[in-house]
Each structure stands twice: as structure tokens, then as C-alpha cells.
Structure 1
């Protein structure tokens, strides 16, 4: 009965979220029009309702309503901004196709775009504080025992203690290590061995049990589960994956069957890939329009300072290991690499004086926005390498080829963190994989923003 009640409470709150998420864009638009004394008409009503409906669809897509109880406030805010950005882009596209944009006040639209996500985040903050106060006062919480005081057990306990609004109160650890019994972790005692947890469950001292034992303890887990069947506690199993390279794995559901997705990326979804492609087309078109005068000046500079073509084409390896020709402004004399290339020799490359300048400022990379527009690259993604180096690195660096699960980029998470040029390739791959595992439009925009301040001029750029 208790498990049903908890599930029902969570379901009710999710539906409450959805209902509120539809209303907030409508009421915020009404408030803005009243504040600026704008005449309210049916087009505003349609836009408000459409904005609310599009937001809950976008929120469902980015995962706002899924596993929300264990999510940090900052992560929730990022998801809200991502969903609102998708909503905003969709509304702009609809207004453009309907040729009806002239009937809306630009001030009203801009203020509405800023106020609505602030209200959506503020409402969730208030609700979280309200639930947290209720549960911190000892009401509506579950008494939890954790089976296994290892890293997984300690992590889950810390999560529950740091987020009292979740409604879980950890009352005890149980572990077979005699050195741990009698100890306390974060004021939580280790009461005894794993075999003693059944007695605590039968006595009604706990409501839920989280099993956090290593996978090798299969027989022990089976025995404990058998013992716990003689009680009414809720039992949950968290597998210890620290012994495997599964720290970035995700749980997915395949027709009701739980599956661990070990090597994957959000961009494996066709919808996510389409959104990123739309992002690339829109942003690269805008950027190319803005930088076209600069590119024209740079082209003249390359031509006047060194004989030969303006552009330099390099064969690089991109998405799915496919080759493409990457464009750069030529910074070296013609045929300087005819005797071969060597990775990690950027400092020793023979550049023209003008070429040295455009390499140090990363201006030689600007033609790659044409690669983005064409579809060979993305604005944000792992930097591509030449085919000869890829064959070498894939044998030397674990998981190296997984950086090709997405399109190569002009800038990336590794680059804005300083891993570029002649720096550690292992660290660069580590940061690339973090980006691939955690991709979102919000992360792309963050990287693009930081590139303006950290990505162009860098001590490792040559």
C-alpha cells in the first residue's frame, strides 16, 4: 500500500507540473501586456496557449518530468531553459511561416521570453522548498536502510541527506565488514551485518531497503531477497558499476525491459540529431553573415603574404569514421607538408608571418563554418584528426573511436577547457566523451559562449 501511495504522489505531482507549465506562459503573457498597456487580442491568447502546450512537449522531450526527484536544482533549471529554448524557436518558426509576426509587439515578446522561464524556475524552487520543509520536519518520509557501506551506498546516503525534500531518511547501514560495524558515516550508524537487516525489516524499523552490493555478491543478494520476502518493506537494488567502465552508462527502457546503455549519446536520437542540425544551420548562417567582411580581409591577407590558394584543405575523420575535407585559411607555404606530417609538432610548423597570426588567434578556422553549413561538421563537437593519426590513436587510447559517434566540431568542451594544440590527447578524449554523453542544446550554447572568451586566443594555439 505504501509503495502505491508513493507512486501515486509522484504521479500527481508530475501532472501538477504539466498543468502549471501550461498555465504559466499564458498568465505571464497576460501580465506583460497589462504592464506595458498593450491591447490584448486573440493572437496573444493563441500564442500563450501554443507556448504552454509546446513547452510541456519540449519538457517531456528533454526529460523534465522523468526522474525529477533525484535531480539537482541547477540541473532542473538547465532543462527548463533548454525546453523553453525549443519552445521559443518553434514559436518563431510558426510566426515566420504564418507571416503574422507584425501583429505582435517586439517589447512584449522579448519580455515574455525572459519572464516565462524565470517564473517556471521560481515556481519549482518554491515547490521544492515547500516539500523540503514538510519532509525535513519528519512528515511524509520513508525510513531507509542501505545494504552495503561501500562507495555506492555512501553516495546514495549523501544524496538523500543533501536533498531532504526527496522524502528519504537513512536510518542505518548494514555491512559484512566487521571493521565497519559500529562506525558512523554522516551520523548514520552501521548497525550490523547484511543478514541482520531482515530482522529490522520484520520489526517494522525500516520502510525501504536499498541494496548496494557488488555484482559478485550474487548468492548473498539472492539470500537477502529471500529473507526480505517475509516482510512488507520496499526493496530496491542499485548495482555497483564502479568495477566496470560504466560510469557514464544510462538506464533505458525497451518495452518494459530495463537495459543499461553503455556506449551511447543523446544524439543517437533522430529528433536530437535534427535539432542539432537546425541549430547548426541557423547559427552558422548568422555567423557567416557577420564574419564575411573579416573573412574577406583574411583572404586578401593570405593571398598577399604568400603565393598559392587562399584555402587549405585537409582530409579529416568525422562522424562514423567517414572522411571529409576540412577548410582552413592557409597559414603555411604551399607544399610545406609534402615530406609528411607529424602529430604534436604545431610549435615547429613553418608558418608565414600572417599565418602565424591567424593560427594564434584561431582565425584560420573560420572557413569551417562553411563545413558546418554543408553538413560535414557541427559548430560544437570533438575536433577531427587526420586519418593517419586516427589509425594510430585508436590502438593506443581507450575509447578513442567513440569521439566519432557525433559530428566533428569547430569548438568543443575540450577546447574551452584548454585541451587543444600540443596537449594531452588522453585528456582531450576524456572531455570529448563527457560532451558526447551529456549533449544538450544548452551545453552547446554554453560552449559557444565560452569560446568567444576562452577559445580564440589560447596559449596552446599555434
Structure 2
């Protein structure tokens, strides 16, 4: 399961503001009011802004949920009522409508939260919707963490077992999650079973042992968490999270969780669709040019690694006389004889990348992110560069932080690829929507004057 925390986080953030606005318009419609009038549009926008994001967690007890709904609604009603009375804005609305809204909203909020608590675990239990996790360390902390996941199914995480170096006879009962073996077998198990989250519940005294374990896990795409507080360098989106109120520390995680995921995916989809519509004549012209310039398909499809290291098909306009996609793929070099004359032009102007906006609309890629490499290159470099696979914690991009910093095109030496990966990981650590926009601007400026484009 990818994005289960995103789903629950989005529900927690949006459920209150959406219900508040929906009940407002339902009450207005019941009273025969004009819904698109400026008064109702302003009140709807104000209500959404003041209640976003919601602060009621799905893990909280029903009693606490009801109490927080009631107190939050009273505070909201008091604040907006005082403002409306002082400004005279209240007089734009029928009193009976306002009373109905104030009365019905908390009931609707409680019902919506109760429904979410019932529906989300059921949805997560269907098919492959659960995130697979393992806990390292059979101790009080590790056992409690596994119990929290079992007690809060809305998290969508299933602990399949524990890893610990101690003999089974010295360990407490692990319950439903079995002991899977010693730490030496963890990395291989994670790769074989496609484990998506690892929770390290180890004592911090043997720090070299933990750092060695982290080095082994850098050749996986699993999210890694320490439980509880630790000190460690080179964090990827390091932050404190919680499981049922219990603190965990993210050591290696994607920046696109919660609202960030919604912002990233929404901006990608809208912008990619707009670009495809606006540049459709250019796409048609390039397609005709490729077809007339040399025999072969117009669009070149190549297997590459996407989110969480899963293979995806990436589209490009064909710029060469060959379509390599096997166990060995030779990178394009300057004055490469395989590049057609028209192919050289579309590579220099980056027009060959335009079909990848279709990949973005499909959800396989982002506009900005680490550039995807051929599967053959991935398998070679993951053995040579520590932390190489971490770049796959996010979707690959059409352009990226490494590319706008001079690491576009051929990486004929290992140190060049190491610098590209360094920039990719720096992007993961420091992502923001502003950084994405800056990379897009720099990419546009580089298209006509990039010496590494060939």
C-alpha cells in the first residue's frame, strides 16, 4: 500500500471543512436561498478556511471525537457570530437558516467521523491496500508499536513480523506477528517481500550496529522509522510522526505525504494536462518529423524505475535509430552515430521529452523529480552508489534538481552519477512547491542554451 498515511491524513484534514460547507449549502437550499450569491460564497470560503485543516484524529476515541467536534464548533460559531454581528453581515442570512446550520453541522460532523472510522479500515482491508511493515527489536517498544497498528486499522499498516538477533528462547511472545529471523536477513527480506515500512525499535547504545543496518537498507525503497527518539545524520524528510499517540521518528520518508501529496499530484495533473492541450500542434509536428526522418516507431517506450522502485514505461519521441531496453543500455554520448539529425534537434530542445507529460497525467511521473534511469542502469548503479535507491521514494520527473544544476545528459563517470544522486536526495530533503516552480523556470531557461543537451 502506497500512500495510506496520505489517505488518512487527507481525510482528517478535509472532513471538517467539507462537511461544514456542505451543510451550509444544504440548509441554504432547503430555505430556498440563492447558493451562488456573494454572501453565501464568502461565508462558504470563510468557513472552509477557518476549519481547515481538521484537528480530529481518526485514532482518537469516539468520546474524545464528539467532545472535540462540539468544542470546535462552539468556538467557530462564537467567532463567526461575533464577527457577523459586529459587521452587520449576519443580516444577509435568514435567522432560521443560520439556526438550522448551527444545529445540523455538529451532528453531521459526528456522523461523518463515525462513518470514516468504519469505512476506512474496511477499504484498506480490500485487496492490496495495506502497507506491509516489519518491526526490528522484540522489546516493550516494538511490541507496543505492533499492538498500536493492530488497534488502529485505519492506518492501513500490517506488521508481518519481527527481526531480532537474540535467540527465540530469550524473547517475549510476539503474538500474531512471528519472529522472522536475525537482523542479517532483514534487507533481503525487505526486498523480496516488498516491505514498505521498517520500524527500528532498537536500543541506541550499539550505534555502529544500527548505522551498519541502515547502510544495508539503503538498497531498498522501504520507509524507515526509528522508535522512539534518536540522533542520526543524513535524514531524508526526517520528522516526528505518531502511531496512536506514540512517537516515532521518520529517518527515510517521502516528502509527499498528507496535504503535500494532494498539492503535488494536483499541480502535476493540471499543469501537464494544460501543457498537452496547448502544445498539441507541436506534438503532432514532432511526431511527423520523427516518422519522416527515419524508420521505426514515433514514440520510444523504455522500462524505468518509478515510485518505490516499481517498473514503469516511460514515453519519449524516438531520437535514435535504435530502441535499447535490454539488460545493457548504452547512454547517448556527444556526436553519437545512433542519433538521427532530427533526433539531435529534438534532444537539444528537449522536445523528445514531451510525451512524458502523458506519463504525468497517468500518475506514473511528476513534472519535477529525479530523472528516471533505464532499468539496466539502475541495477548497475544501485551496487556502486550508497543510497541510490532512496531517490525512488518519489515519482521520477521530466526535469529535476540535478538537471538544472548541470547534471543532465551523459554520466560517463561514476563521480558524475554520484553528484546527480546527491542533488536528487537534496531535492527529497528540501522539497517545497516553490522549489518545484523554481526548477521549472530554470528548466525553461536552459532548454535553448544547455551544453549538456545532445
TM value normalised by structure 1: 0.48
- Structure possessing the higher radius of gyration over alpha carbons: 1
Where relative contact order (Cα < 8 A, 6+ residues apart) is larger, the structure is: 2
